[in-house]
Chains A and B, each alone.
Chain A
Amino acid sequence: MSSLITSTALVIPIITLILGFIIGYLAQRSGFCSIGGLRDLFMFKHTRLFFGYLALIAGSFLGYFIFWAIVPTAFPNFYWLANQTDPLTPIPGAPGGLTTLSYVVLAIIGGFGMGIIGVLLGGCPLRQIVMSAEGNVKSLFFVAGTIVGAIIFHTTIMQLVQLIMP
């Protein structure tokens, strides 16, 4: 693996801060929300936000394709499933050492849980952060919950998953 910047430690906070700033600014202007897009589609047949999410999928493929063509060394596993004997293997970085079936089950449980709670609370994690930046105190408590939840996941849930999932 080799990227354009070789000594990364100092620039990571700066680059991610700029990235977050751009996304946060545009998300506030456009009301972007992944779960909200699906909700508007199902409940009101509105497609505005849903097309935003579709554009994200298309844009990520396009972006990876363009930069893979320029700097192939930075994208060693693009296009991942084309090089796998089992097309359901997740890309490296998922909780390690589980069987394919476990990853499928975890994806279904995790996705379904995010979807149902997200729609009942009015937005996906990004939308909640943007809403708390707009002054919504309820969303601020949601963000505080994600911070506490991250610690809970790594102190208990993760071990539990590795204990019970094959």
Chain B
Amino acid sequence: MEKENQNKSFLRIIRIPAFLGITIGILAALVQALLINAGGPEAYGFCVACHTRDLTNAVVNAFTGASLGIAPFSATTPVLTIVGVLIGGYIAANRKKEFRLKMGSILSYALYFFGGIAVINFALLVGACPYRLALRFGYGDLIALIGILSIAGGVAVGSILLLFYMKRRDM
């Protein structure tokens, strides 16, 4: 009985975003403690943009003989964080029967595709996605704070655009 209650409270806690926030922070630090010998950079335990870049460029380099930039951390063997996120997300969605194929129009596909290109280019300009920005700020990097505040500014402008669009559609 008690075990069941514990299970239930654990199931509830994994649905709280703040729990995942703390988990990512601590796991990223653990990864650095385990693997900094691979060559850094520091505060690099988890980053969606950079790890996508590292994996992509490692594959491209292996097949074409090019030498696109890769962080020293993943220069010898590739990082598979993104693959892990895909598998984890798929298994979670499948177990809870939340996997649903959602199609869109050709135009929306093009929009998302170019959106993806733009977002990762902006992210790599800062050298971090929103997640690594948080890690870097936790590590004591003030540039990361400027990045986080700029994201907030961008989201504010985007929210105003969305509200404007929603109002016009309602009229």
Contacts and interface: CB of A to CB of B under 8 A. Distances in A.
Kindly name the residue among B24, B68, B86, B125 whose own CB sees the greatest number of chain A CB atoms within 10 A.
Answer: B125
A137 B85 contact: no
Contacts of B41: 91-93
* Majority secondary structure, B binding face: helix
14 contacts: A12-B38, A18-B84, A25-B89, A30-B15, A52-B16, A54-B21, A58-B21, A62-B138, A66-B26, A111-B154, A117-B158, A125-B119, A128-B116, A141-B112
Given A104-B143, A117-B118, A151 B17 contact: no
Kindly name the residue among B29, B60, B159 whose own CB sees the greatest number of chain A CB atoms within 10 A.
Answer: B29
B15 A23 contact: no
Contacts of B60: 151
A25 to B, nearest CB: 4
Interface residues on A, range: 35 or more
Kindly name the residue among A49, A66, A139, A153 whose own CB sees the greatest number of chain B CB atoms within 10 A.
Answer: A153
B139 A136 contact: no
Interface residues on B, range: 35 or more
B43 A106 contact: no
B154 A115 contact: yes
Interface in B65-99: 68-69, 71, 73-74, 76-93, 96, 98-99
Contacts of A97: none
B155 A1 contact: no
B44 to A, nearest CB: 7
A112 B150 contact: yes
Interface of B: 14-46, 48-49, 51-53, 56-57, 60, 68-69, 71, 73-74, 76-93, 96, 98-104, 108-127, 129-131, 133-144, 146-159, 161-163
Nearest to A128: B116
Contacts of B116: 128, 141-149
A120 B84 contact: no
A4 B98 CA distance: 39
A110 to B, nearest CB: 4
B28 A60 contact: yes
B44 A26 contact: no
B113 to A, nearest CB: 4
B141 to A, nearest CB: 5
A116 interface: yes
B71 A93 contact: yes
